[in-house]
Structure 1
Amino acid sequence: MDFDAVRTFVAVAEAGQFQETAAELAITQQAVSKRIATLERNLGVRLFTRTPRGAELTIDGQAFLPHARELLRAAERATAAVRPGSRPLRVDVIASRLATTGLIRGFHQAHPEIELDVMKLFDVETAVAALQSGAIDASFRAVAMPGQPLPEDIETIRVLDEPLQLLTGPGHTLASARSVTVAQLAGHRIWMPGITPGTEWAAYYDDLAAEFGLTIEATGPNLGADALLDTVADTPALATFIGEQTRLVWPASHGLRRIPVTGPTPVYPHSLLWHRDNLHPALAALRDHLAAAAAGRGSPGTWTPSWVTQT
């Protein structure tokens, strides 16, 4: 149904004059008459009768008027629902304990007036599809995986290079070290059951292991962070990698150690992804906030895979 015609019908019904309606809508009286005639033809009824005083609703016009008003209200609600800035900004952070959640927390503290919906999507393909469909507005990812370039309509900005740390239990041979070099980790078992083949983090750790001759094991079920911490605390032969800004809490009795890795420092590259046609005003505010807060990208003495997007 032509909403301009419906809007014109309601305006004529309220004004009682075609000429007054034309002035109100800033169109000609002929255009008003044409819209009403088209609407009457589509409905198969007459909506107005002409009188010396102007235009009066017929019985059919009176019956249609409340429905026409509801149609216009529904159209306005539908438009408002997708109007840029009228809904919360939807951002994928992958998981709640990662540095990406900290980035969003910082943005919220800087812009408390902006509503947020925080999503947790697993893999980059799902995230990109959600960006393209409009299901989300932005996603944090390490991009782009080898042989899997991002679509041309997806834009990115590198927002954080997060140093990796070695996490050990108190009985590990490196537990007392103030820092360790990547070379010192050769021959040690680094256990990371959360690595899933086909994900960007799996590609990252595959390259890290190949570059420095490390043994990174993804064996066993991924039972979550608590089970990982329990095992590392109780098993002197195992250690794991953890992001410097990853937020984890464990009992004091675990005696876990977070040890900086140097020579070079492996950093996990977090980028923000969005669709180039997304006009949500809060998305621009998020990009500006992250760009202003970005630090350490590509710093000397750090390592990232060659396939990581630099911009």
Structure 2
Amino acid sequence: MSTHVPDLRGLELLVLVARTGSLSSAAAELGISQQAASSRVRTMESLIGSPLLTRTTKGSVLTQHGDLVVQWARAVMDAAEQLDAGLAALKQDRLAHLSIAASLTIAEYLLPSWLVAVRSRQVDVGQPPTDFTMTATNSERVAGLVRGGLVDLGFVEGPEPPEGLRHRLIAVDSLVVVVGRDHPWAQRSPRRVTASALAATPLVIREEGSGTRTVLERALASRSMAPPVLELSSTAAVIAAVAAGAGPAALSSYAVRNDVASGRLVRVAVSGLDLSRRLHAVWTGGAQPPRGPARELVDWAARRES
């Protein structure tokens, strides 16, 4: 921008002088002292290189150059008002809508209750409820959507948060090994297998990029894993296959708790294997999630699951 262009507040002052015919009246409308107003006029005159006002006993009169500047300034002020209105609309739109991507376990078993709780709190305090849109996919894809600016906020699962993204720990989860109720492991007493036996058994697993699969493969990295019996792209499909007798699977404790409680699936302990993992909220930008519904949602989830 040219070094000869005054700032908006200075231009606004000059337009008010033209309307009121008085520097003191213009200063009063802007909520500044007459001394401050005079200083702004001198700054503008220095930038432009020409007097803009003539002071008289009856007030302030625009010079010929001052009158030209006011004509141009009105167009600038109109554009600034349009810009301000547009930015306010963008901010309101951001506060009214929040796009989220979440790993399948979080999307299916945790996020819905978080969204309901946040909207209920907003209604309780008289705040317009946020419209949430959610994409459910694997953790790798969630990280890509957040990095690409295609969603405002992400939730992922895995041993550690994705590189290059801001993050906050939401909860610590653990994978558990489950089988169908007719599987031989379900008949054992106690129901326990070794890590080596698990690695040697064809499993029903999630697809590449899934946080669930990443945790399992890292936990068994020192052992040679048998080829999977099935590779499926959703937790619900894995649960259905295990219940039908396809083979064992390692899934989130959140995902299988109802099926284990009902007897549809049977949980089998694994000796000498750490299957814990962390659930993180991820975003780009500042150290904290963006103000508004994104931060409300992350704060609620962290409190709820801690």
State TM-score, norm by structure 2: 0.63
Rounded Cα–Cα distance in structure 2 between residues aligned with 1:122 and 1:227: 14
Amino acid at match of 1:4: R
> What is the one-letter code of the residue matched to 2:202?
R
Residue 159 of structure 1 is aligned with which of 150, 171, 175?
171
1:204-219 correspondence to structure 2 within 5 Å? 204-210=215-221, 215=226, 217=228
Structure with greater helix share of residues: 2
Tell me the residue number matched to 2:155: 139
Query: What is the CA–CA distance in structure 2 between the aligned matches of 1:8 and 1:233, rounded to whole Å?
Result: 75
CA deviations 1:83-141 (Å, max 9, x no partner) are 9x845455432337433424633642663446254443654586388369696245333
> C-alpha separation between the residues in 2 aligned to 1:211 and 1:163?
18
SS in 1 for 2:103: coil
2:269 is aligned to: 262
What corresponds to 1:18 in structure 2? 23
CA 1:259–1:227: 2 relative to 1, 3 Å: closer
1:104 correspondence with 2:117:
no
Contact 1:91 1:118 in 2 (8 A): yes
Matches within 5 A, 1:17-166: 17-23=22-28, 24-26=30-32, 28-34=36-42, 37=45, 41=48, 52=58, 54-55=60-61, 58=67, 61-62=70-71, 65=74, 68-78=77-87, 81-82=90-91, 86=95, 88-95=97-104, 97-102=107-112, 104-105=114-115, 107-108=117-118, 111-113=121-123, 115=130, 117-120=132-135, 122-124=138-140, 127=143, 130=146, 136-137=152-153, 139-144=155-160, 150-151=163-164, 154-166=166-178
Cα distance in 2 between the residues matched to 1:216 and 1:110:
46
Q: Deviations over 1:261-281 (max 9, x none)?
A: 335684443133354154515
3-state SS of paired residue (2:301): helix
Q: CA deviation at 1:196?
A: 0.9
Identity among equivalent positions (%) equals: 13
Contact 2:176–2:268 (CA under 8 A) maintained in structure 1: yes
- How far is 1:204 from its partner? 0.7
Aligned length: 278
Report how far residue 61 of structure 1 moved. Answer: 4.0
TM-score by length of 1: 0.62
Unaligned runs of 5+ in 1: 296-311
Q: Which has the larger radius of gyration?
A: 2
* RCO comparison, higher one (Cα < 8 Å, 6+): 1
